[in-house]
Amino acid sequence: MEYNREVSVAFTGHQEYDGQADDRLAALVRSLYEEGYRFFYSGMALGFDLAAAEAVLSLREECPGMQLIAVVPFHGQERDFPIRERMRYWAVLAAADRTVELEPAYSRGCFYRRNDYLVDHADRLVAWYERSRSGTGYTVRRARKERIEVTNLFEEVSMPMLFTVW
C-alpha cells in the first residue's frame, strides 16, 4: 500500500511511560485500524514510543495492511539505552515494515526534526502527555496547531481517578 497521510497515525509520549495503559493503547490501535488507518509511525524513543510500536506489531497479523513505520532521529540513538531496552528497540526495528533514519549521527535539534516528521506524516496523533515542557509537549502543540486530532491516553487513564469519591 502506498503512503497516504489521511490513513496515518503517529505516536508520541514520555520516556517514563511504564505500561499502565497498554490494554487501552492496543484497543485504540485496533479501533483506529477499524476506522481505516493503516500506517502507524513510532518515534522509537524509550517508553511510550516503543510500547505503541509493540502494540501495532501485536495486532499486525490480524489486521491486514497495517504497517509500522519506525522513525529514527539518528543512527545509533539506542547506544545509551539500558541493554533490556536496546533489545526491545532492535526487535521493533527488525519487525517494522519501514525504517526512516533522519540523520546519520546525533545533531542538535534531531529530536525536534523527528517530531516534526511524525506530525507532517500523520492525520491523527496518539500521545502519552502529562507535562508541557518536553519533546512530547512540543509535538502535541504542533499537531494541534496543524489541526491534527490528538488523543491523549494519559488524560483518559488518569482523569477518572481525579473524580473518584472515597
Per-residue pLDDT of the chain (166 residues; tens, 9 = 90+): 678 999 999 999 988 898 889 999 999 999 999 999 999 999 999 999 999 999 999 999 999 999 999 999 999 999 999 999 999 999 999 999 999 999 999 999 999 999 999 999 999 999 999 877 789 999 999 999 999 999 999 988 876 555 444 4
Handedness of CA 83, 85, 91, 93 (dihedral sign): negative
pLDDT reported for residue 7: 98
Amino acid identity of residue 89, one-letter, is Y
Q: What is the pTM of this model?
A: 0.93
In degrees, to the nearest 5, what angle opens at C-alpha 160 toward C-alphas 29 and 22?
30
CATH number at residue 75: 3.40.50.450
The three three-digit cell numbers of residue 48, written as one number: 511510550
Outline where DSSP puts E strands in 3-158.
8-13, 39-42, 67-72, 98-101, 124-128, 149-152
* Count: domains in the chain: 1
Q: Which domain holds residue 70?
A: 5-162
Please report the pLDDT score of residue 164 as a whole number: 45
- Amino acid identity at 73: P
Q: How high is the pLDDT of residue 69? A: 99
Residue 107: per-residue pLDDT: 97
